[in-house]
Each structure stands twice: as structure tokens, then as C-alpha cells.
Structure 1
Amino acid sequence: MSVSHETRDGVAIVTLQNPPVNGLGLATRRGLVEALAHALADASVEAIVVTGGARAFSGGADIRELNRPESGMEPTLPTVIAAFENSSKPVVAAIEGLALGGGLELALGMHHRVAGSRAQIGLPEVKLGLLPGAGGTQRLPRAVGLETAVNMIISGAPVAAGKLAQSRLFDRVVDTDVVQAAIEVAKEAAASGELHKVRDWTVEHPEAAVFLASARTAVAAASAHYPAPLRCLDAIEAAVNLPFDQGIETERAAFADLIQTPESKALRHAFFSERAAGKIADVGADVAVREVKQVGVVGAGTMGAGISMNFLNAGIPVTLLETSQDALDRGLATIRRNYEGSAKKGKLTAEQVEQRMGLLTPTLEYADLKHADLIVEAVFEEYSVKESVFSQLDAVARPGAILASNTSTLDVDRIAAFTGRPQDVLGLHFFSPANVMKLLEVVRGKATAKDVLATVMALSKKIGKTAVVSGVCDGFIGNRMIEQYSRQAGFLLDEGALPQQIDRAMEAFGFAMGPFRMGDLAGNDIGWAIRKRRYVEKPHMTYSKTADLLCELGRYGQKTGAGWYDYRPGDRTAHPSQLVNELIERHSTDIGLVRRAISDGEIVERLVYALVNEGAQLLQEDIASKASDIDIVYLAGYGFPVWRGGPMFYADTVGLDKVVAAMRRYGKGHEGAAWEPAPLLLQLAEAGRTFNP
């Protein structure tokens, strides 16, 4: 039963009971209408209070129903809202926890609203490429004012009810029992006989047209790839200028358009994919997690310092180990500098800085890690160094402690074998800067225990990370795929493109940064070290030599003031380098290639389809368990444009048959051996299927 009802002293209490957030799916909508009808038919009931309990009034519509028959089955959400709005007895929404999306729209359709001061109020539909589709764009401006409504709807960000206490949205905002306060309001409304309807109010603003014109200019500049924000403004403008029923028609027409856009489909795919990433097929909810109350971090460099901050931010004490006092002092200084920088921006108070620093214990002794529940190493990327660290951790760590490597490419099973407890070992690949980047690749070794995996997946949420599980292979999901992307970028240099054209094309496609600007930021010497290893381990794999030639000149990127681009002191702007362009052109001549004009379209296809093909191979090998996991890795960690949904989803939208046809076309060119389609890709393309069902 998703809705229950009872009567208290002449007031019907209708309670949503659809955990975790009282989503308004079909069964819940039916339950609400039935409960309302029961209350209206009961002569002893003089008013109605609708609540969702302490955790949530309602988190909104069940978006799993979008594009499914249930979404259009009666009673729809607008039908439910109309039923409460037209009730002959006063209805009061008692809001605790949150009222988001359709949940807020439902409350806006009631005659009165009472909220706890800390309840979160919002219309987040824009984050899914949509707009509120059940009257939110029409009622909210009438209830909170035009400017506040525009800010809430365009940003999708929730606002504490206490900050809206002076608006017409709430009759009362309380710090006491919300349901009891709602019952009092309900009795007062029953006594007065007045039934207030938000739809009958007007939008208040002295210069609405001027404000909306200014907002439109700002929103257009900030939402180039997203149609939803401007359509939200269209609907809000209708609330200002048109009668309510016509405004509703404008809103619903915009919603119907937006739900079919590729951008909304991509955003909804990303939403569901992030949640699906946390579900591991053979690790059920019944697997008990280990307690993590204290963390150890080995290595106080850039990564170690950033990794430590994740746990400190979550209130988890960290013991930070280094091999020298100088290195340890630098790490501590980095952490303090980062926190003090946040304090200067108003993101932390001075007291919070000191609280977090107070949770940090520096040490030079491995023995001081003996009480840690989780220990993460962040040392140099060489097996000999890892062996030294894990051997010492094996000797001092308590039984049941989880030992994790922050390796970005190395074999986690080989690292686990340096210990006598491989079941407790896994990879935790943080991305730089580790205290900022959302992605966390969780690398599951062949011996990793299920409870270890369950523990770190739960912990990832606590420290604010988006975790994706990968199997063991060279580079895991993200770096293994990016290698093929980078190889194609190098081949394009050999054939006729220059770094600035390739970066410009990929950034126009939507990447946060093109491959060469990204290389300069990360350090070109890192890729050089990997290629040197590849030349020994995988001599069959070919690369353009331009990157090696660049590194031989000491052009490692921003840290040396020169890479694929030139940089000026104190300025990270990438300036095209004549020296580099001449080096590239000379290399083409040296290897016997006649340079040609290359279109931006070819650049995008070759780099993105290289990602797709390697992603298909990862699925074939069970390194990634589902295509959506790959998409989340690239959305959260590699700057792939969110409105395109990730590489595998993007390939689905293009059509896998078209992807294969393009690969075969490129396979006839320079270094065509790189274009052997993955068997899974061919299989799906021939069957007319997609990666994401």
C-alpha cells in the first residue's frame, strides 16, 4: 500500500508510503485519489492533511515511467493535482524532508502548505533536460514571486523552506511537529470556509518584461547545448502574461517537445546510469559492509593529499604517511593551502578548516597505520615501489583492513599478490585533482572479497564520489579507452592536422578539453612513460612518434611552460607553437606521408569511435559489466559532453551500423590496423541493436 489514511479529530491524515522518496508512480497516484475520495465522503472529516513522513513529502514523479504507458494512465499527476485543488474540503500539505519536482507541484495544488524550516523545496526537472510538467512553471511564480521562481526553475537547485518563509508559498514554516502544525492550519481553514487556490493568484513583479528579457539573455549564454532552460523561461513568461489555463497549455507543449530531445534522453540516461553503476550483479544488499572509521594514506604528494581530503571532508580521521619529513611537510602544506583557498572563497569557515586539519595525523612510521580500517597507497607507478609498500602494509595492517592501490594502469592482482591477504586488496583509482574530480574507478581483483567491494561502494557515496567497478586490465576502463583516443589524435597529426585544430574540433563537439590541451595539463611525460612500457610489452601496437619527439625536447606541458602549446609565466592560456607545428610537419615528411586537409567531422568520428570500439572490447572481456558504466566513467572523469550521454550512448544515437561503416572506411587509411571492429560491436550492429537496451 503506497498511500494510507486515518482520521484525527475531524482531520483526515493522508500519508504517502512509497519509499525511499514517495515517488508519484501510478499506484501512488491512484492511492492519493482514493484517499481523497474517502475523506470527502466521510461526513466526520472537515479537512485533509497530506504528508509523506519525516524523510520526504515527495521526491516527485517516477521518471522510470517516462515514455512508458504508466505515465499517461489515469490518474495522471495533473489529474491528481486538480482533484486536490478542487476539493470541497480544505487540503493542507505537511512538508518535511523534501518536496521536489512533482512533489512540489502536488503541494502547490493544495490549498495550504506547512513546512519544516529545513525541508528542501525545488523543481529539478531542468537537470533532466525537461521542465516541470504539472503546473510548476505556472504556480511557483505565483507563490514565491517571479525572480525567485526563475532562479529555482532554471537552476533546478533546491532551497530550504526557511528561506521561502516570507513568500506566499507557505502558511507556516516551523521547527516543531509539521503534521501537528498542518492539522492546526487545516482546522482554521475549515472554520473560515476559504479554499485558497494558487492558480487564482497573480505573478507579482514591477518590471516583469524587463526582468524576463534580461534573464533570457543570461540563460541563452549559459545553456548553449541545452534547450530546456529557455523553454522553462517561455513557460514562466506565459504564467506572467496569460491566463492560467493557457499557461498550462504552453507548459505541457514544451514538456512534450523536450522529452523527445536527444539532450533530455542523454541526461536521463546519465541519471539512471549513475544509479545503476552502484549495483553489482553478484553483490546484493544482503552483503554486510565493513566499518571504516579511520583511514590511512601512503604518499603525501598531489594525489595522496587530494585523496586524504576526501575522507577529511567526510569527517573521517586520516593518518598520512611519507618516507621523509620534507615530503610530509609539503603534503600537509598542500592540504592546508587547499582548505584555506576554499575558506577565502567562502566555501568553508576558519573553524571548519581547523576541524578538518585536526582529523589529520602525519607520520613517518608504517606502524602508525595499524588501526586503519582502509589504507590507500598513492605512490609512484612502478611495481617495485608498490611491492615495497604493500609488503610493509601487510605486516602492520590489522586483520580485515582493506588495502587499496591508487594505480591508474597497473595489475591489481599482481599488487594483491605482494600480500598474504589478496581478498582484502582492490584498486581505488582516484582522478586528479582527487579532492575535486567525482569519478572513482573501483578495480575488482580476482580475489577481492564481496564485502570489500560493497564497503568501498558505500564509502564512495559518503565521500561524494561517483564509483564505477572495473575488472583488472592495463588502464582499467577510462585509461585503456583514452589510449586509443590519443593514438588516433597522434595519427591525425601525422596525416595533416595540427593540435589546435584537433582540440578545437573536440571542444566544439563538447569535450571540456581537447586531447592536446589535456596532455599539457596532465603532463606529457606521463604518456611518454606509458608508451615506453608499451614498446616493450606490446611491440605490435603503433603510435605516432610526434609525442615522443615533443618529450625529447623537454616539452612536458604546463609544468615546464611548454608542451603541445606555448605558455607564458603565470598564464595557462594555450598559445599555438610554431616550433611544434614545424616538428609535426617535418615528421610527416620523414615517414613518407603527404599531408592532407582533414575535416573536423573526421577528427570527431575517429577520436570518439576509437573510444566506442575499445569500450565494446571492454564489455566483451567483462572488464566493464555494462555499457552505461563506461558512459559514467567518461561523463564523470574525462569531460565527455553530458548532453551526448557518454560514448556508448552517443554511438547508439548515431547507429552502430553507421559507426562500423565509418571504422571500415578509416581502416583503409594510415595505421588502419587500429580499426579492427570489436566482435561485440559487429554483432550488435548486424542485429540492429544498441549497447544500452
Structure 2
Amino acid sequence: MSASVLFERRGNLALVTVNNPPVNALGQSVREGLLEAFRAAEADAQVEAVVLLCTGSTFMAGADIKEFGKPPQAPSLPEVVNAIEACAKPSVAVIHGSALGGGLEVALACHYRIARNDARVGLPEVKLGLLPGAGGTQRLPRLAGVAKALEMIVGGAPISATEAQRHGILDELFDGDLLAAGSAFAQRLLAEGRGVRRSGEQPVADAGEAAALLDAKRAEIHQRMPGLFSPLRCVAALEAAVQLPLAEGLERERELFRECLASPQRAALVHAFFAERQAGKVVGLAADTPTRAIASAAVIGGGTMGVGIALCFANAGIPVKLLEIDQTALERALQRARDTYAASVKRGSLSEADMARRLALLDGVTDYAALAEADVVVEAVFENLEVKRQVFERLDAVCKPGAILASNTSSLDLDAIAAFTARPQDVVGLHFFSPANVMRLLEVVRGAQTSDTVLATAMALGKRLKKVAVVVGVCDGFVGNRMVFQYGRESEFLLEEGATPEQVDGALRAFGMAMGPCAMRDLSGLDIGLAIRNRQRQSLPPQFPLPRVLDKLCEAGLLGQKSGAGFYRYPEGSRTPQPNPALAPLLEAASRERGIARRSLDDRYIVERCLFALVNEGAKILEEGIAQRASDIDLIYLNGYGFPAHRGGPMFHADQLGLDKVLARIREFHAEHGAWWQPAPLLERLAAEGRQFSDWEAGQ
């Protein structure tokens, strides 16, 4: 028997216990052990039922990531799952923690399933560009129906044990000891004469509605997830469950699984998965670096960003004080917080009780003295260095020794901000993205004097706030905004050269971007973009011209959504962009001023101009040590800028295209458009050596 799976006969029950910490992943030793254990149970005449459970904090939480990308080892998970279901003695899966992916597929193969009240179950394979390949697409719709199976398999999100029981996935919920609950349930089965009940032999409950449900889901995928490969294969596999006997359905599932396995999208999504794990490993920071306790927090500034950050702390169960300049501004900020939570309650994503608990953690104040005992203070005031100076001098005077002083600045020099205090070692950047209580990305900015303990604490805090925390260095715009400046600049140059906002945005949305750059500018406000642009214009030499599009629009009072029109027109009460007839003469005027003859541009050219501007700047950022590794840049763009996950991020996408090909195009753009397109030395070096961005890491 495998060391990862323990077998014990206790009376008339076989106890099969998976012991593969930390998450009981379904590696080769576990698969082999399960197969041997169920065969042993079947061969033992004294065994009448099998109880399957796991040690530690969770049931089997999916595949073993150490096996990703390696040749498969026998036995395969489908072989194990089919053997469990075929067992002639009734089996009970006892679930605690999470039963995800292959773990849930094993549980579905057991004849009965019980779970602790706080357990979760799910089939998240679609998030890695795959589909459940060990019977999940065939057995789940037979238990829960096609509608619920579509939701769980195409969406990939786990559901609670309560919901799983309601939909027939679980038979019973319990509190307390796993072994006691599992043994009692198994003995009750035997006493009541209930024997084997195979999920695969049950009919699909809502088969009559299946065709309409499947068609509707396909239409939704085409509309909301254009270009994605695995979601449509998930639907096809569920269709097989409705139309085919189990054995043929399982064969079809494996065919579709192999198609997904070979898809480039799967490689990109797996890259994104590992990038998130890698980001927590900070170059030069020892794994055992001590962290400071964060039991209370404070936020300076009650605007949209400040309130969003305060809600992040409240959502994590951390008491937080929100400071504003006066009572009127404070009440406005607190009302914004109440309104945000009320909207969540209305949507059904938050209970009234949870809203009350979180609001109770939020305390509005107008006096800096109230922040004296805060463990971390986040400044989220206007993006002006003089304003930041005033805030940090006050914080330095009132905050206790050891308090972490964080700035949410998106572009200002963190080292200059730290110098406003007598404790620069305690200053760190925490750059949240708006809306802060929704967006997952957190750029953790490491200043020149930020201590290792403060940096480690900031990363741990990011995890506690359920953020994707990525360490970046100090420069104008850090990583995300520094790169997006290049992206936005090229989109505006394209408008001056002959493209329309509809064409630019359409080309990039077709590539997979969540939003086009013109619509994104309208959302954030063109005047804000112009203010940043004017600041940059003062320091740029003449060989780095800037487009005049924003100037023209702002001069005409077209500021974006807030003024009702910008690159697009927004009818009153609507955020849906409509063509703006006032734009064409402004674009033509900008073209004339720069001496450009407008021309027709194709979509591929538009995408390459915008994306390769990102890549070239990303290469410079890597070489400067602002980002630790290319996958960190990818993670920032996947979680903060709407880059399509199935493309893996801008640097991964460039690797897949081939850096030699990317460099060749950048050199062409350099010849056409001048200094902005000077190829990054790192890109030239890697391309010459036949290497990839993924081969490079800070300090090499």
C-alpha cells in the first residue's frame, strides 16, 4: 500500500485515509494507493462498506502541481475513479475543507458523499484551460442537473456544502469528527439495506431542458468569453453526458480533455497560475523574515480609492479608521462605504449580518491623534507631492514606533515620500487599483530604505486582504502605469494616423482585452490623463513627441464619461459608448498639427503597435530591476489591466510569439516612428541568444 494512502479494517468497515499534506493532492502515490485500497476492500470478505477520508485541513484539493508538464504516470485518475465507482461495496466520501477538481471527481465516484458544514466543492479546471477529465462532466449533471453542472464547470467557482446538498451533490452535512461521522453514516446505510448507488448509472435529471441550456451557455460564452477554448469544450462534454451512455460519454470527455491539454491557452493559463505562486517569492527576502502583527489599520482620505481601501480592511476583519479633513467630508465617505455594502446586499453577494459586522469595523475620524495606535496607515490623498509631505509629516509625529506608513501613490517617488519622515525604513508603497475593494492587484512598492520586515509584512497583509501582491521598485508609474503609458500613447498616435476609437478598441477587445484604451481613458477621465501627460511633456526631450489628441478633446470640453462625451458619446444615464460625431474634426486637426497624412490601418497592425509597446517597456523594467521577473509583469497586467488570461500576460505572449519576431517588428516601428521605439537592450540580448523573458530573473 502507498505511504500516502492508509488502509485499515475496523469491524465491518474499510477506512481509506489519504495522507498527502498539505492539500492531499492527487499525485501518483495517492492514485496508486487509492486503487490498491479499494481493491483490498473489495477482496476482504469482512468489509461491508468503505469510508474514504483525508487527514489535515482538507479533502483532496485537486491535481498535484508538481506533475504539471511531466509525462503521465500510471494509474491515471480516470482509471482510479472508475474503479472506485465500480466497487461492489458501498463507499462514502467524507469531505472537509475543499473537494476540488480531481478531488471532487473521486468523491462523485463514491456511492455516497457527506461533508462538514463549512466545506466547499468545485471543478475549477476551466481556469487552467482544461475541463474535468476524470468523469466530472459525466457524473455531475447526473446528480445536480445540466444547469448546475454548466454553472460549476464552465464558471469554475466552488460552491458551499449547503448549496451542494441542495442540488443533490452531497447526501448529508455534519459537524465534528470526520471518522465518527463517516462511520456512523456507513453503518446507517448498511442497517437500512442501502447498497451501491453509482452516480454514472443515474439519469440526467433535467435532460429535457438540456438542449436549450447548452445552446444558451454557448451563446453566453461567445458573447462574454470570445476566443476562449476550454469553456466550449466543457459544454460539449456536458452535451455528451446528456446524449451518450456513460462509457461513451467518458471517452468523449477524454477526447475533449486532450484537445484542451494541447491548446496554447492551457499553457498560458497554467503560466498565470504559477506566476501567482512565484510572486510571493521576493528576491533577496529570506523566507523566514519576521513580520509585524497587523491588528488595526487606518486610511487617510475618504475619496473613492480611500473608501475602497478601508473596505478591504473591514472585509478582512481588521478594524480600520478612516480619516477625512472635516465632518462633512467624513460623512460623505462613510455614506459611500454604506452604499457600497448596500449594493452588495442587493445583489445577494453579502448578507445583512455581514454588512453590519463589516461596517462596525469602520470608524470615521477627523483627528490624526486617533491614528496613534494603528499598526498600518495607508495614505490615499490627492496625487501631489506637497500634499503627501503634509500627510506623512503628521503621521510621523503621531503614529507609534513600528507602525507601517504606506502610500497609495500611483506615480510619485516613494523615496521622496519616505524622506518626509524620520523612519523611512517603515515606509512602503501599497498601490491599490480602483475600485480597491474589487480589484485583486496590489503593487507593493519597495523603497530604497524599506526594511525587509516591513516588506514581508506588506506581502503578508496583501494575502490577508485577498490581493495578488507583487513587489515592484521605485520609478515613475512603477510597473503597471509606466507600461500602460506606452500602450495609451501608441493608441493615441494610431488615432492621429488614421484609426478611429471604435477600430482601436475593437481590435484590442478582439485580441481579448477587457476594455479598449479609448473607452478606458473615457472611464478614468481625459483631464486626468492630460495632467499626467503635461507633467511628462515638461521633462521629455524633443525626439520624444507626444500625441495631441487628449489636448484637443479637453480643450473642447470632452472629458470622458463624466462630461457625457470623450472619445465616445454617452447618452444621459448610460455608460454604453456611442460614436462621437464631434471627434473626427478634432482628430484631423491633431493629425495636421503633426504633419501626418491619415491612412487606413488594419487590426493586426493596431494590436502589434499597442502590445509591443508594452513588451518593450516591460523589458526595460526588467533590466532596471523594477520588476523581479517577467511573470510578475504578466500578473500585474492580468489582474490590474484587463489583459486576457488565456494569453498569459504581455511578456508570456511575447515569448510565445518568439522574441526574435517581436524584436523585428519593434525595429520596424523604430524606423517608422522614432525614439519611442528604441528596442530594449534586454530584448535584443535575449533574442540574439535564443532565450525568453521567462529565462530571466532579477540579479542574473
TM-score under structure 1 normalisation? 0.94
Shift of 1:3: 2.7
How far apart in 2 are the matches of 1:220 and 1:411? 43
- The corresponding residue for 2:365 is 363
- The corresponding residue for 1:228 is 230
How far apart in 1 are the matches of 2:348 and 2:187? 44
> 2:16 aligns to what SS in structure 1?
strand
Change (3 A) 1:99 1:537: same
Q: How many residues align?
A: 690
Over residues 638-690 of structure 1, what are the superposed CA-to-partner deviations in whole Å (9 max), with x where a residue is unaligned? 111222121111112222111111111111213x2111111121222222222
- The corresponding residue for 2:698 is none
- The corresponding residue for 1:25 is 27
Change (3 A) 1:395 1:142: same
CA contact (8 A) 1:374 1:402 kept: yes
Is residue 134 from structure 1 mapped to residue 137 from structure 2 by the alignment?
no
Shift of 1:610: 0.2
- The corresponding residue for 2:578 is 575
- The corresponding residue for 2:105 is 105
Shift of 1:416: 0.9
Shift of 1:186: 3.4
Change (3 A) 1:403 1:220: closer
Shift of 1:471: 0.8
CA contact (8 A) 1:54 1:96 kept: no
Note the 1:377-392 alignment, pairs <5 A: 377-392=379-394
- The corresponding residue for 2:527 is 525
Shift of 1:118: 3.1
RMSD over aligned Cα atoms: 2.4
Q: Quick one: which amino acid aligns to residue 205 of structure 2? A: E
Over residues 519-563 of structure 1, what are the superposed CA-to-partner deviations in whole Å (9 max), with x where a residue is unaligned? 121112222222222233333532112222333334322223332
Q: Which moved more, 1:135-144 or 1:246-255?
A: 135-144
- The corresponding residue for 1:566 is 569
Change (3 A) 1:170 1:340: closer
Shift of 1:169: 4.2
CA contact (8 A) 2:552 2:590 kept: no
Note the 1:163-562 alignment, pairs <5 A: 163-165=163-165, 169-187=169-187, 194-205=195-206, 207-208=208-209, 210-221=211-222, 222-540=224-542, 541-562=544-565
> 2:584 aligns to what SS in structure 1?
helix
How far apart in 2 are the matches of 1:383 and 1:217? 51
Q: Which moved more, 1:302-311 or 1:316-325?
A: 316-325
Is residue 96 from structure 1 mapped to residue 100 from structure 2 by the alignment?
no
- The corresponding residue for 2:13 is 11
Over residues 458-481 of structure 1, what are the superposed CA-to-partner deviations in whole Å (9 max), with x where a residue is unaligned? 222222222111111110000000
CA contact (8 A) 2:314 2:320 kept: yes
- The corresponding residue for 1:114 is 114
Q: Quick one: which amino acid aligns to residue 484 of structure 1? A: Q
Change (3 A) 1:41 1:207: closer
> 1:165 aligns to what SS in structure 2?
helix
Change (3 A) 1:106 1:673: same
> 1:573 aligns to what SS in structure 2?
coil
How far apart in 1 are the matches of 2:426 and 2:44? 61
Change (3 A) 1:216 1:479: closer
Q: Which moved more, 1:404-413 or 1:580-589?
A: 580-589
Q: Which moved more, 1:202-211 or 1:638-647?
A: 202-211
Is residue 659 from structure 1 mapped to residue 658 from structure 2 by the alignment?
no
CA contact (8 A) 2:214 2:235 kept: no
Q: Quick one: which amino acid aligns to residue 536 of structure 1? A: Q
How far apart in 2 are the matches of 1:432 and 1:212? 35
- The corresponding residue for 1:75 is 75
Over residues 94-151 of structure 1, what are the superposed CA-to-partner deviations in whole Å (9 max), with x where a residue is unaligned? 1112211101111222233222233212211122221110111122222333333333
CA contact (8 A) 1:22 1:52 kept: yes
How far apart in 2 are the matches of 1:301 and 1:108? 48
> 1:519 aligns to what SS in structure 2?
helix
Shift of 1:455: 1.6
Shift of 1:624: 0.7
Over residues 422-445 of structure 1, what are the superposed CA-to-partner deviations in whole Å (9 max), with x where a residue is unaligned? 111110111122222221111011
How far apart in 2 are the matches of 1:455 and 1:135? 43
> 2:672 aligns to what SS in structure 1?
coil
Q: Quick one: which amino acid aligns to residue 640 of structure 2? A: G
Over residues 63-119 of structure 1, what are the superposed CA-to-partner deviations in whole Å (9 max), with x where a residue is unaligned? 4423311xx211111222233334454432211122111011112222332222332
- The corresponding residue for 1:66 is 68
> 1:581 aligns to what SS in structure 2?
helix
Over residues 498-520 of structure 1, what are the superposed CA-to-partner deviations in whole Å (9 max), with x where a residue is unaligned? 33322222222222222122112
How far apart in 2 are the matches of 1:312 and 1:689? 45
Shift of 1:14: 2.2
> 2:596 aligns to what SS in structure 1?
coil
Shift of 1:37: 5.1
Q: Quick one: which amino acid aligns to residue 549 of structure 1? A: K
Change (3 A) 1:511 1:35: same
Q: Quick one: which amino acid aligns to residue 473 of structure 1? A: C
Change (3 A) 1:172 1:590: closer
Q: Quick one: which amino acid aligns to residue 632 of structure 1? A: L
How far apart in 2 are the matches of 1:584 and 1:186? 74
Structure 2 stretches lacking a partner, 5+ long: 696-700
Over residues 152-208 of structure 1, what are the superposed CA-to-partner deviations in whole Å (9 max), with x where a residue is unaligned? 222222222333436664443333434223223434566759443333333333615
Over residues 483-511 of structure 1, what are the superposed CA-to-partner deviations in whole Å (9 max), with x where a residue is unaligned? 11122122223322233322222222222
Change (3 A) 1:90 1:484: same
TM-score under structure 2 normalisation? 0.93
Structure 1 stretches lacking a partner, 5+ long: none
Q: Which moved more, 1:379-388 or 1:613-622?
A: 379-388
How far apart in 2 are the matches of 1:136 and 1:26? 19
Change (3 A) 1:38 1:357: same
Change (3 A) 1:300 1:162: closer
Shift of 1:613: 0.6
Over residues 580-606 of structure 1, what are the superposed CA-to-partner deviations in whole Å (9 max), with x where a residue is unaligned? 321221232233222221111111100
Q: Which moved more, 1:332-341 or 1:568-577?
A: 568-577
Shift of 1:374: 0.4
How far apart in 2 are the matches of 1:209 and 1:490? 47
Over residues 375-400 of structure 1, what are the superposed CA-to-partner deviations in whole Å (9 max), with x where a residue is unaligned? 00111212211111111111111011
Is residue 642 from structure 1 mapped to residue 639 from structure 2 by the alignment?
no
Shift of 1:403: 0.3
CA contact (8 A) 2:496 2:588 kept: yes
How far apart in 2 are the matches of 1:278 and 1:271? 12
Q: Which moved more, 1:347-356 or 1:99-108?
A: 347-356
Change (3 A) 1:100 1:110: same
How far apart in 2 are the matches of 1:369 and 1:34? 61
Q: Quick one: which amino acid aligns to residue 415 of structure 1? A: I
